[in-house]
Amino acid sequence: MKSKLERGAVVSFFSILLFISCVMPIVNSDDETTSVSIEPASSVVGLYESFTIGVYCNPCIPMKSFECSIIFDPSLLSVTDVREGTIFNGYETFFNDGSIDNTNGEINLIYGLIMGEGNVTNPGYLIWIDFQAEQNTGQSTITLSNVGVTNETMYIPITISHGLVEVQNVIPSIEDVTAQFSDPLDSDPLFGWYQISSRISDDNLNNAYLVMTHPDSSVSNNSMTKGSGDLFSLN
């Protein structure tokens, strides 16, 4: 549950943690370190494709809050939304979705914390980020920066794993094309009927068009109707 407390209280909370971390040692674990990573670690998407990545945390000791920023290549990607993850499910939380800057390729000042008593030790997603690929192909690193994870009193040691997104000009796979026609069917569009269907495989494909050359040599660009799964049809 997201609290509607003033942000000043949360900023003060992090300021206190920063002060404590300066005067007290960071908690150390002999065997494990809390990990924060981009999931999936690598992705391949098509031009203009919408997709989601997560920031995943596996705490080695109880945690209560987190903060991070994200850096990406704005010529390849843009951010449409930042959403609270599930790692603090069951607690009242305060979540700030940060400031999205698609011009410079940054999301700054993302943070979340458990209000009142409580902490978590089970792994989960800190945030989800909704991206859209742009018109250029290439590779963009998804960089985690200014990452901090705390328990009730101080920052805890972490390891960070960044991610990679490759934007490709993906050609859809077109299969199982079938066509049925009435008998007779002539060049008059008001006489007879036809039905054309095909399976078009491409991640998150929502629109498909069929260019048809008619008996009178005219050409039409027809929007196909999306059915279940990857089936598109034109009647």
Instruction: Please give the residue that has the higher pLDDT: either 132 or 28.
Output: 132
Share of the chain above pLDDT 70, in %: 64
- pLDDT > 70? residue 203: no
Q: Is 91 exposed, middle or buried (0-12, 13-18, 19+ CB in 10 A)?
A: middle
* Angle of CA points 218, 219, 223, to nearest 5°: 140
- pLDDT on residue 235: 61
Mean model confidence pLDDT for the chain: 81
pLDDT digits (tens, 9 = 90+) for 136-161: 999 999 999 999 999 999 999 999 99
- pLDDT on residue 168: 92
pLDDT range class, residue 172, cuts 50, 70, 90: low
- pLDDT > 60? residue 193: no
- pLDDT > 50? residue 196: yes
- pLDDT on residue 220: 74
pLDDT range class, residue 221, cuts 50, 70, 90: confident
- pLDDT > 50? residue 22: no
Share of the chain above pLDDT 90, in %: 56
Domains and CATH numbers, the chain: 7-168 (2.60.40.680), 173-234 (no CATH)
- pLDDT on residue 32: 77
pLDDT digits (tens, 9 = 90+) for 85-124: 999 999 999 999 999 999 999 999 999 999 999 999 999 9
Provide the residue type at 4 as one letter: K
My answer on whether omega of the bond before 157 falls inside 30° of 0, hence cis, is no
- pLDDT > 80? residue 45: yes
User: What integer is the mean pLDDT of 204-210?
Assistant: 64
For the CA atoms of 118, 54, 77, 109, what is the dihedral angle to 10 degrees? 10
Residue 71 near residue 131 (C-beta atoms within 8 A): no
- pLDDT on residue 219: 75
User: Cα separation of 166 and 73, whole Å?
Assistant: 11
- pLDDT on residue 218: 76
- pLDDT on residue 214: 66
pLDDT digits (tens, 9 = 90+) for 49-98: 999 999 999 999 999 999 999 999 999 999 999 999 999 999 999 999 99
